[in-house]
Structure 1
Amino acid sequence: MRPWTFPIALQSGTAHQPVFQQIAQAVRRDIRRGRLRPGDALPGSRTLAATLGVHRNTVLAAYRELEAEGWIVSERRSTRVAPGLPEPPPGRARTGTGPGYDLASPTPTRLRPGQGGLDFGGGVPDLRLVPAELLARAYRRALGHPELLGYGDPGGEPRLRAALARLLSEMRGLAVSADRLMVAGGSQGALDLVARTLIRPGDRVAVEDPGYPAAWATLRAAGAELVPVPVDAAGLRVEALAEALAKGPLRAAYLTPHHQFPTTVTMGAARRLRLLELAASHRIALLEDDYDNEFHFEGRPVLPLAGEDPAGVVVYLGTLSKILAPGLRLGFVSGPQALVQALAARRATTDGQGDPVLQRAVAELLEDGLLQRHARKMRRTYEARREVLAEALRRHLGGAVAFDLPAGGMSLWLSVDPAIDIEAWATRAREAGVGLYTGRRFDFQDRPRPNLRLGFSALDERELAEAVRRMARAL
């Protein structure tokens, strides 16, 4: 039996159909419009009679008529929509044209894992290694606090904010207090809040080229006019940013200086200082997306721009998605206290808050050092996978691709022999069960680029080796 009450609007009086026919007509209509589908169970006659306030015989009469017409079938203990009826066409229930608004939506730009096979989508952690049991136990403990099940602080659960502030201080060298930090729905949710708070329609915002298309879509949705700035082996070219400034003011610049997306290069110290000076003198908000800070394998740690920002122009965006899982939607933003308060006020007008129970659970893992321990384990795992992928590429594709081994990150950026049709190669690889991401996907003007971005974090050593073998066969 269906667990719901199946309401039907009935009309009384002699001018209308008999009640049993009204019931039968309502069921027919619901089958035609897709509310009821072939094989769906209908309420029992006693249940439906009680719901509608009619005699059971009235419902039985309606069911007999529907069964005689072939709309439903009666079984020993249930009544169901006849299984042989055709499914209604998609959208048939809504025949109107809508309110007449321009409902065009941004083209999805986030890298999605492929359907099966071996996918090289970069920046995705290995979900098989998520510490699910640790998180589940902490979540169950958090559920024991009823106050977390009500409305909470739009800035985030206080204990998580405090734990993140300590983490940023101890591991990233930032002088951040809890009142200058806000928890958001992933780094993309944090960027969306910042963009809708700082940017007005028509504001010019600089972005890296090649860069991160999902961030471009978010900034455009806030009304920004995007200004592409080229990237070289040392990151965003600051002199090109200055040239863009000469053509008009810039409200903000979105950049990934730690491991540039997608090239993985790290911005050098001299260029960082020049960038900070330029931003301070022109009051440009630097939106620093430090999306994979934990995964730096070689050399000295590289501190965020936000740690060298006396003028207060850097808005720092981060995420726990790369340590845990993107589906948890745990990101954060740090900046001047007035900005954080404005972001929280804006969030209060939309979804109001995140998930306080989940945030408390993650705060407990941070306080106990368990999440930091997991991050160290993942760093060792991903570094080993980087080496396996690099060696497989040298062995099977040494004459076709070249790359510099990045000091950190979760992917490799390959230069491909210009004689190779890279898009055709990617198509053949997909047919062989390997998802490749060509440089064109990250180009601001959708121009072909002789590059591949291969993420190594989501595939284990055996899968990486097999994926490269298939790439070589496809080529």
Structure 2
Amino acid sequence: MKIPYKILIPFDKSSALPVYIQISSAIIKSIQDGILQPGVKLPGTRQMAELLAVHRKTIIAAYDELLSQNWLEIIPQKGTFITEKLPVVKPLALTTQTHRDTINQTLQNKLNKHSFIYPPPNITHKLAFNDGLPDVRLAPREEWARLYAHYIRYADPALIGYTDPKGAIRFRTLFAKYLSETRGIRAMADNIITTRGSQMGIYLAGLTILQPNDVAIVGELNYRAANLTFRQLGAELVTIPVDEDGLQIDAIETICQQKPVKMVYVTSHHYHPTTVTLKPERRLKLLTLAEKYQFFIIEDDYDYDYHYSNAPILPLASADRTGWVIYLGSFSKQIAPAFRVGYVAANETIIDEMARLRRVIDRQNDTVLEFCLADMLENGDLKRYATKALKVYRERRDFTCDLLKKQLGENIDFRIPDGGMAIWANFTPDFPLKTLSEKVAKQGLYLSDGQIFTQENPTLNACRMGFASMNFKETEDAVRILKKAMASKIP
């Protein structure tokens, strides 16, 4: 059978990958697919060069590459052959959709499936009322680039090798001081582990304290990624009401009187998704209950720095006397989502166990990023940036809330959030979010369809509307699209 090498060996001369590598890779693929069988003689270098319309030296280089990897063998006075040592692979018929479906189903049957876990939306729209993300255009990118380049070039090689799974000691020392000065949390370097964002912190904290069937208390309409994490770890999730003052703590005590509780998860500052703040008296009672019933509190303080109405209320961790609070957060909300540095602060016994578990998940954090953060903590650049961003986001909150009230009137209901980067908006039944979201998406605007919250309340027609990532002009354009889509009732 004549082998169609020209079809089997495609290559792109404009690619950055050398042509000889593309050719050798194509031949390997044909062997793996069973098209080129062991013992098959390849054309000589001159003939193959003519077939593929390339220079003979390119084919010589490709053959040399295949010989070095033991895909080919040269038999003197006979030629170049696919090595006989390879197993015979039966060629597959042309792949059909039915065949692909069969393969997929076979693989699915072998997987340890977690179908209840869903990926977050990949928002590519220029205009977006997202979950509450920062405007990366405000981030100190030039400063980060300068610092990162400096450490890549000049850092002691020992500092950018494998380090402590807890994180760079210099960063943890400076950050412990920062937590003390800004949040009243009494911590030292050994009380901190760095993570790749708050989600990794939630997972590590849950993995450290939860056993299958342990009771974990969360609020209704809780942060969905946290719920998914605890469920994946085998916890029994018990929900309690959330009102304008945060979690209803009395409900926690009722549950504790009925069954042992292992953990309570709370976003104490700007509750996700509804943005309310847990009031001081409820904070104190929650700490008292944790001491009495000996349950852990995972306090997710993901955007503590962005509080507009007054000084932020100190976190639960600042008043923790007995070590039951696991405090976590991230610089991803403060700077940019792609900036993957988060942290967990807790009793050193908990941190030590988290470091052991982290060892089998991810060896360590991005040490160079931690060096950059340490510099910005030390020289005050991070504080100056946060102060500037706080002013911008406060102005955007006020502008967005005023515009929504003027343009959408009684069709949308929300309270102006004291902090954070999103509004919790309730739409009237005339405008079902699932349909409205699809409608505005066609006009280039992202709006959550709110479906992730309807499991707890099927009649809910609400979503988070992030205001921080759009400037005034972009917000005006977004609201204009939304208003146009709502000009008539959606059937």
Q: Work out whether the TM-score is over 0.5.
A: yes
Q: 1:464 to 1:40 in 2, by over 3 A?
A: farther
Distance in 1 (CA, whole Å) between partners of 2:124 and 2:470 is: 14
Q: State which of 350, 354, 357 in structure 1 corresponds to 2:361.
A: 350
- Give 2:211's aligned residue: 200
Task: Tell me if the contact between 1:153 and 1:353 (Cα under 8 Å) persists in the aligned partners.
Answer: yes
Task: Tell me if the contact between 1:186 and 1:321 (Cα under 8 Å) persists in the aligned partners.
Answer: yes
- Give 1:20's aligned residue: 42
Task: Tell me if the contact between 1:199 and 1:222 (Cα under 8 Å) persists in the aligned partners.
Answer: yes
Q: State which of 184, 189, 204 in structure 2 corresponds to 1:178.
A: 189
Distance in 1 (CA, whole Å) between partners of 2:40 and 2:333 is: 63
* 1:58-457 alignment, distance < 5 Å: 95=103, 97-98=106-107, 101-109=110-118, 111-143=120-152, 144-145=154-155, 146-443=157-454, 445=456, 447-457=458-468
Q: 1:464 to 1:402 in 2, by over 3 A?
A: same
- Give 1:44's aligned residue: 58
Q: 1:90 to 1:435 in 2, by over 3 A?
A: farther
Task: Tell me if the contact between 1:49 and 1:56 (Cα under 8 Å) persists in the aligned partners.
Answer: no
**Which secondary structure state, in structure 2, belongs to the residue aligned with residue 243 of structure 1?**
helix
Which deviates further from its counterpart, 240-249 or 99-108? 99-108
Q: 1:455 to 1:286 in 2, by over 3 A?
A: same
How far did residue 227 of structure 1 move?
Answer: 1.0
After superposition, the C-alpha distances for 1:78-121 in whole angstroms (9 at most, x for unaligned) are xxxxxxxx999799699593595343135455653523242111
Q: Unaligned regions of 5+ residues in structure 2, if any? A: 1-17, 46-51, 68-72, 83-93, 487-491
Task: Tell me if the contact between 2:136 and 2:469 (Cα under 8 Å) persists in the aligned partners.
Answer: yes
How far did residue 315 of structure 1 move?
Answer: 0.5
Q: 1:248 to 1:93 in 2, by over 3 A?
A: closer
Residue 483 of structure 2 is aligned to residue 459 of structure 1: no
Q: 1:179 to 1:422 in 2, by over 3 A?
A: same
Task: Tell me if the contact between 1:156 and 1:182 (Cα under 8 Å) persists in the aligned partners.
Answer: yes
Q: 1:61 to 1:240 in 2, by over 3 A?
A: closer
How far did residue 427 of structure 1 move?
Answer: 2.8
Distance in 1 (CA, whole Å) between partners of 2:56 and 2:215 is: 57
Q: 1:313 to 1:400 in 2, by over 3 A?
A: same
Which deviates further from its counterpart, 433-442 or 163-172? 433-442
- Give 1:82's aligned residue: none
Distance in 2 (CA, whole Å) between partners of 1:39 and 1:291 is: 59
- Give 2:13's aligned residue: none
Q: 1:91 to 1:337 in 2, by over 3 A?
A: farther
Task: Tell me if the contact between 1:122 and 1:457 (Cα under 8 Å) persists in the aligned partners.
Answer: no
How far did residue 44 of structure 1 move?
Answer: 2.3
Q: 1:306 to 1:466 in 2, by over 3 A?
A: same
**Which secondary structure state, in structure 1, belongs to the residue aligned with residue 242 of structure 2?**
strand
Task: Tell me if the contact between 2:125 and 2:446 (Cα under 8 Å) persists in the aligned partners.
Answer: no
CA RMSD, 1 decimal: 3.3
Q: 1:306 to 1:48 in 2, by over 3 A?
A: same
Q: 1:257 to 1:16 in 2, by over 3 A?
A: closer
Distance in 2 (CA, whole Å) between partners of 1:42 and 1:407 is: 71
Task: Tell me if the contact between 1:208 and 1:236 (Cα under 8 Å) persists in the aligned partners.
Answer: yes
Q: Partner letter of residue 129 of structure 1? A: L
Distance in 1 (CA, whole Å) between partners of 2:203 and 2:354 is: 10
Q: Unaligned regions of 5+ residues in structure 1, if any? A: 24-37, 63-85
Task: Tell me if the contact between 2:20 and 2:62 (Cα under 8 Å) persists in the aligned partners.
Answer: no
Which deviates further from its counterpart, 371-380 or 238-247? 238-247
Task: Tell me if the contact between 2:41 and 2:81 (Cα under 8 Å) persists in the aligned partners.
Answer: no
**Which secondary structure state, in structure 1, belongs to the residue aligned with residue 110 of structure 2?**
coil
Task: Tell me if the contact between 2:328 and 2:342 (Cα under 8 Å) persists in the aligned partners.
Answer: yes
Q: 1:227 to 1:454 in 2, by over 3 A?
A: same
In the TM superposition, structure 1's runs of 4+ consecutive aligned residues that sit over 6 Å from their partners are 38-43, 55-62, 86-94
**Which secondary structure state, in structure 2, belongs to the residue aligned with residue 328 of structure 1?**
coil
Which deviates further from its counterpart, 121-130 or 313-322? 121-130
Q: 1:320 to 1:16 in 2, by over 3 A?
A: closer
**Which secondary structure state, in structure 2, belongs to the residue aligned with residue 19 of structure 1?**
coil
Distance in 2 (CA, whole Å) between partners of 1:347 and 1:192 is: 10
Task: Tell me if the contact between 2:20 and 2:59 (Cα under 8 Å) persists in the aligned partners.
Answer: no
Which deviates further from its counterpart, 112-121 or 206-215? 112-121
How far did residue 300 of structure 1 move?
Answer: 2.9
Distance in 2 (CA, whole Å) between partners of 1:447 and 1:93 is: 33
Q: 1:115 to 1:21 in 2, by over 3 A?
A: same
Task: Tell me if the contact between 1:288 and 1:317 (Cα under 8 Å) persists in the aligned partners.
Answer: yes
Q: 1:385 to 1:136 in 2, by over 3 A?
A: same
How far did residue 247 of structure 1 move?
Answer: 3.5
Q: 1:272 to 1:383 in 2, by over 3 A?
A: same
- Give 2:4's aligned residue: none
Task: Tell me if the contact between 1:440 and 1:448 (Cα under 8 Å) persists in the aligned partners.
Answer: no
